[in-house]
A and B are shown apart, each in its own frame.
Chain A
Amino acid sequence: MTSIILEAREITYSYPYGPPVICGISFHIRKGEKIALVGPNGAGKSTLLLMCNGMIKPDSGMILYDNKPIQYNRSFLRELRTKIGFVFQNPDNQIIAPTVYQDVAFGPVNLGLPQNEVITAVSDALRAVGLDGFERRPPHQLSGGEKKRVAMAGILAMNPEVLVFDEPTSMLDPQGSEDMMELLEEMHNKGKTIIISTHDVELAYPWADRVILMEEGNILDEDIPELAFADKNLIRKAHLSVPILLELYMELVKRGMKEVKHPPRSVLDMIRMIESDRHGQMQMHCEACGVIHIADCDAVPAGKFLSYLSIHTISAIGAMGNRAKTRLKEESLYPDFTYAVIDRCILQAMNGKNSLLLTSGGMLTSAHERIISFNNENNRHIRIISVPTENGAG
């Protein structure tokens, strides 16, 4: 297990002349975890998040970052805020400067980085959120989703270790929400610790490593999503709803399906469960299993995809990460999947269809590993073919 990066000990807080908002909360978050803070409106989620980077000082109790208690003086807080990046719920509250470039550069400039480092930090951050070419646009001309991305880029440019998002998917359409969750996944792959607050259980359920259920300033439960969301009493108390997948699983169990140790977190898990329950270890012939072609979108030369697609029969394209999405757009191709891409490609393969998975950097290896471990766990033989790069023979 990794070390604890953020810890709260018995913190309480009440707004001046108001009732208590946080009533004696303790929790800890480990490095590299994905935490979802779930609770109804007014449960104190935002207040708790603002305490993480010292924006609000608890009335009693203490918060520790890297096992050091937070001190509420200027220099300590400054240091802390470079480590913990906070993305507000409403991007209009966060975007300060008149152009996208200036806004993203706001943090780095104030950290005193030299000009050329500021420029690289800004362009890296904008590329990470998929907004290259937006440098000179004024924020009021952007759409809600784009503004949210600018706000994120502004935080990423400071390269924090922990990213805190207050309601990252509020005000976004379903596609935008999925893109946002995918972006969070990408950040996580780069080794960031991520804390989000949300009341969208469907998004939190497959994504989070651990869920903290909050209600009226208290923590109701703190567990892995399969368990935290399974307790109907708690869920009712927290004004939430059971994720559909989990509910389906529980209903199937009631009707005699075999109970498993880990309830399904994704459609893929569910399909696998149903298949193995109905037919025992159903084994398809290897010919019947589809193939997953994996391409490194940075290494495959331009124009290669079209010719590759014309040679091979591929029924779906998945783009994992922003680089892959922009790359596909450049080739004027459209991805069929942009979210939970590996799972969906495996699902395709289980159905005997071939798919092309486009990704870059560290996500390449994690895609390989995920498919191989799926093969091992389920005794399957889904073949992976790496799309040849420039050096390899076409």
Chain B
Amino acid sequence: MYFELLENIAQNNGMRDISPYTKLLLGLGCILIVITSPGYIVPLFIAITLSVCILGIGKIPVRLYLTLLSIPLGFAIASVIVIVLVTGGGMTVFSLQVTNWLSLSVTVESLNEGFFVFCRIFGGMCALFFISLTTPMTDLFSVMKRCYIPMVLIDLAMLIYRFIFIFMEKAELIYRAQVMRLGYSTYREAIHTSGDLAGALFLASWNAGEDLIKAMDCRCYSGQFALLSKETPLQIRSVLLICIFLGFCCTLEVITADYTIIPVSI
């Protein structure tokens, strides 16, 4: 369901009419900077600015954005806790002797490290969401062509994209029909019914494939796929702005490389 939801948002968001290249430049640029950044300030800064962009310009509902973010950030927090507990160095802030062979301790350095990792994930996720919430797949196909990705792969990607939705619709219909007739009532029954679902879906996909070939034949397929003719023009101004922003981030990265959330040397 999430894929469909994300696509629908991407098709209707406030930045729909900005060239996909511009959006990709910002998104991918930010991801690169976040990955290379040695300090926590730049990733945090990028996370916040991109979130503001997504919510403000993209007009994505705040609740929905937070729900989406909570999924990866939940994982991030779980792993950060482990990192904080297992890494060491610096002054010990808190220590707990669980058994005589295992002691968990939180040190200044582990706290810094944990927070840094969290910011990195946060920034990276924001950049990824920025791309996926504002750039629909259909625009990316044209970008792929420009990047000299072989046409065969793009054609396949387009067909897959189209059929994912048909597949999901079919799956939902079959699933509903099964639930309505008490398909998943017991554990044993659930295993059995999900097997049926898989089988029915396999047959449905097979048929869909045959129908597709028929449809393509009917419409004189000779190995060519159209791409969107109207590409939104690249706006020099926004590209320049993005370059300035990325440059600023890089500079900030150098300046704030040594900053930590808790001062190490006392």
- Collect the chain B residues with CB atoms within 8 Å of residue A111's CB: 220
Q: Which residues of A contact B217 (CB under 8 A)?
A: 55, 77, 81
Interface pair B218/A136, CB less than 8 Å apart: no
Which residues of chain B from 63 to 104 have any CB-CB distance to chain A below 8 Å in the complex?
none
Q: Which of these binds chain B: A90-98, A186-194, A216-224?
A: A90-98
User: Is there an interface contact between A136 and B219, defined as CB atoms closer than 8 Å?
Assistant: no
Is A53 at the interface (CB under 8 A from chain B)?
yes
**Residue A354 interfacial (CB < 8 Å):** no
A295 within 8 A of partner (CB):
no
B contact residues around A155 at 8 Å (CB): 219
Contacts known (A96-B212, A138-B11); A102 close to B228, Cβ less than 8 A: yes
Residue of B nearest to A82 (CB): B220
B159 touches A110 (CB 8 A): no
B88 to chain A, nearest CB (A): 51
Interface membership of B15, Cβ < 8 A: no
Is B214 engaged at the interface, CB distance under 8 Å to the other chain? Answer: yes
0/1 string, B157-184, CB within 8 A of A gives 1: 0110110011001000000000000000
How far is it, in angstroms, between the C-alpha of A77 and the C-alpha of B222 when the chains are bound?
12
Contacting residues, chain A, for B229 (C-beta < 8 A): 101, 105, 115, 118-119, 122
Report yes or no: A97 in contact with B162, Cβ–Cβ below 8 A: yes
A93: which B residues are within 8 A, CB to CB? 208, 211-212, 214-215
Q: CA separation between A119 and B227, bound complex, in Å?
A: 11
> Chain B residues with Cβ under 8 A from A77's Cβ?
217
Check if B262 is an interface residue, CB within 8 A of chain A: no
Partner pick for A97 among B136, B137, B220, B225, CB 8 A cutoff: B225
Mark A290-317 against chain B: 1 for CB-CB distance below 8 A, else 0. Answer: 0000000000000000000000000000
B interface, over-half SS: helix
A125 to chain B, nearest CB (A): 13
Q: Say whether, besides A106-B225, A106-B226, A110-B224, A98 and B141 are in contact (CB < 8 Å).
A: yes
Give Cα A216–Cα B185 distance, bound, in whole angstroms.
43
CB neighbours of A105 from chain B (8 A): 226, 229
Report the bound CA distance from A112 to B220 in whole Å: 10
Contact B158 A98 (CB under 8 A): yes
Report Cα–Cα, A53/B161, bound state, in Å: 29
The interface residues of chain B lying within 8 Å CB-to-CB of A55 are 214, 217-218
Q: Is B216 interfacial (CB-CB < 8 Å)?
A: yes
Q: Which residues of B contact A136 (CB under 8 A)?
A: 11, 138, 228, 230
A169 to chain B, nearest CB (A): 20
Q: Considering only CB atoms, which chain B residue lies closest to A90 in the complex?
A: B211
A137 touching B11 in the complex, CB below 8 Å, given contacts A98-B158, A110-B221, A111-B220: yes
Contact A140 B165, CB 8 Å, known A96-B159, A102-B228: yes
Cβ-based interface call for A367 (8 A): no
CA distance A106 to B8 in the complex (A): 23
Residues of B within 8 A of A238 (CB): none
Contact with B along A34-61 (1 / 0, CB 8 A): 0000000000000000000101000000
Rounded to whole angstroms, the CA-CA distance of A145 and B100 in the bound complex is: 71
A326 at the B interface (CB under 8 A): no
* B212 and chain A: residue at smallest CB distance: A96
Assess whether B7 is interfacial by the CB under 8 Å rule: yes
* A55-B217, A78-B220, A110-B220 known; A135 vs B230 contact (CB < 8 Å): yes
**Which residues of B are found within 8 Å of A118, using beta-carbon distances?**
226, 229
Interface string of A137-172 (1 = CB under 8 A from B): 111110000000000001100100000000000000
Chain B nearest CB, measured from A46 CB (Å): 12
Within 8 A of A (CB), among B183-224: 208, 211-212, 214-224
Q: Does A107 contact B (CB under 8 A)?
A: yes
Residues in B with CB closer than 8 Å to A92 are: 166
The interface size of chain B toward A, counting residues with CB under 8 Å, comes to 35
Tell me if B138 and A98 are in contact (CB < 8 A): yes
Q: A102 vs B158: C-alpha distance in the bound complex, in angstroms?
A: 10
Q: Which residues of A contact B216 (CB under 8 A)?
A: 96
The smallest C-beta distance from A373 to any residue of chain B, in angstroms, reads 39
A94 engages B165 (CB within 8 Å): no
- In the assembled complex, which residues on chain A have CB atoms less than 8 Å from the CB atom of B222? 78, 110, 112
Q: Is A109 an interface residue (CB 8 A)?
A: yes
Cα of A106 to Cα of B226 in the assembled complex, Å:
6
CB contact under 8 A between A53 and B226, given known A96-B162, A141-B8: no
Does A86 make an interface contact (CB < 8 A)? yes
For B229, the closest partner residue in chain A by CB is A119
Which residues of B are found within 8 Å of A205, using beta-carbon distances?
none
How far is A132 from B136 in the complex, measured between Cα atoms in Å? Answer: 20
B227 contact set on A, CB distance < 8 A: 102
Once bound together, how far apart are the Cα atoms of A303 and B67, in whole Å?
Answer: 47
- B220 contacts A95, C-beta separation under 8 Å: no
Taken residue by residue from 223 to 259, chain B's Cβ proximity to chain A (1 for < 8 Å, 0 otherwise) reads as: 1111111100000000000000000000000000000
Find chain A residues with CB under 8 A from B158 CB.
97-98, 102
Q: A97-B226, A102-B226, A138-B11 are in contact. Are A53 and B218 (CB under 8 A)?
A: yes
Which of B1-44 touch A at CB < 8 Å? 4, 7-8, 11
What residues of chain B lie closer than 8 Å to A135, measured between beta carbons?
228, 230
The closest CB in chain B to the CB of A93 belongs to B211
In the complex, what's the smallest C-beta–C-beta distance from A110 to chain B, in angstroms?
5
Q: How far is the CB of B142 from chain A (nearest CB, A)?
A: 10
Looking at the assembled complex, report how far the CB atom of B169 sits from the nearest CB atom of chain A, in whole angstroms.
Answer: 8
- Other A-B contacts than A93-B211, A96-B216, 12 sampled, CB-CB below 8 A, are A86-B218, A94-B218, A97-B158, A98-B138, A98-B158, A98-B161, A98-B162, A99-B138, A102-B228, A109-B224, A140-B169, A158-B220
Chain B residues with CB under 8 Å of chain A are: 4, 7-8, 11, 136-138, 141, 158-159, 161-162, 165-166, 169, 208, 211-212, 214-230
Residues of A within 8 A of B (CB): 53, 55, 77-78, 81-82, 86, 88, 92-99, 101-102, 105-112, 115, 118-119, 122, 135-141, 154-155, 158
Nearest 5 pairs between A and B by C-beta? A105-B226, A140-B165, A93-B211, A109-B226, A107-B219
